[in-house]
Amino acid sequence: MFRDRTDAGERLARLLRDRGVRADLVLAIPRGGLPVARPVADALGAPLDVVVAKKLGAPGNPEFAIGAAASDGSVWLNRDAIARLGISERHVERERRVAARAARTREAAYRTGGPPDVRGASVVLVDDGVATGATVTACLRLLAARGAGRVVLAVPVGPPDTLDRLAGEADEVIVVESPPHFGAVGQFYRRFEQVSDGEAMAILGGAS
């Protein structure tokens, strides 16, 4: 059980240092990933930035993720769910465009310039946890498309099956806790309030 996202980030940072991980850049998935990523970036002596993905919703149930798209359109699709629900490719493509546009808008809101150049860089990607891994997968594919040299996914908590799948998307996956009985990321935090855009931008600007 983590006290809050900062505590989770501090514990994750210690684990990364113990594993000898080095980074040219730490990227957080906003908004919840930023309070976790700040201690990681500070510990590794690396700049902190963001990478954004948005979930694709099912017809009539937008909260049910059938995939996710990153700001460049990189996408991960839950093909099993799409087939089981009989979702049309037209709906999937429309949701992908909407999600990618929303991700670009949010990414632009967090910085004044363009995205960081990750070509050949060692990148640590951080979120406050993974459940389905949809948004994380889309972000990992974006980094691969942009030519990142090595990508380490670092999260405080996630279920073993999702982490096993993500190991095929990242060069390395590092997690503090991987409990077999997993309901939601928030159940492993004593405090798990939503992070506001203002708080997230203050963290990104260097205020921990």
Residue 186's alpha-carbon distances to 135, 165, 167, 191, in angstroms, are: 16, 21, 22, 8
End of a domain among 91, 109, 127? 109
pLDDT tens digits along 44-76: 999 999 999 999 999 999 888 899 999 988 899
Quote the number of domains for the chain: 2
Q: Provide the token pair at 59.
A: 């017809």
Residues 105, 34 within the same domain: no
Residues 89, 177 within the same domain: no
Residues 47, 74 within the same domain: no
Between CA 164 and CA 160 the distance in angstroms is: 6
The pLDDT value recorded for residue 111 is 78
Residues 39, 77 within the same domain: no
End of a domain among 71, 89, 109? 109
Q: In CATH, what number is assigned to the domain containing residue 98? A: 3.30.1310.20
Q: What's the predicted TM-score (pTM) here? A: 0.92
Q: Is the pLDDT of residue 113 over 80?
A: no
Residues 60, 105 within the same domain: yes
Residues 69, 169 within the same domain: no
On the 0-12 / 13-18 / 19+ scale of CB atoms within 10 A, 83 is exposed
Q: What domain range includes position 26?
A: 5-51+112-204
Percent of the chain with pLDDT over 90: 84
Residues 138, 183 within the same domain: yes
Residues 79, 169 within the same domain: no
Residues 122, 155 within the same domain: yes
Q: In CATH, what number is assigned to the domain containing residue 163? A: 3.40.50.2020
The pLDDT value recorded for residue 107 is 87
Residues 30, 122 within the same domain: yes
Sign of CA dihedral 116, 118, 124, 127: positive
Residues 45, 148 within the same domain: yes
The pLDDT value recorded for residue 208 is 44
Q: List the Cα angle 53/170/106 in 5-degree steps.
A: 15
Mean local confidence (pLDDT), 174-179: 97
- Cβ atoms of 168 and 141 closer than 8 Å: no
Residues 182, 105 within the same domain: no
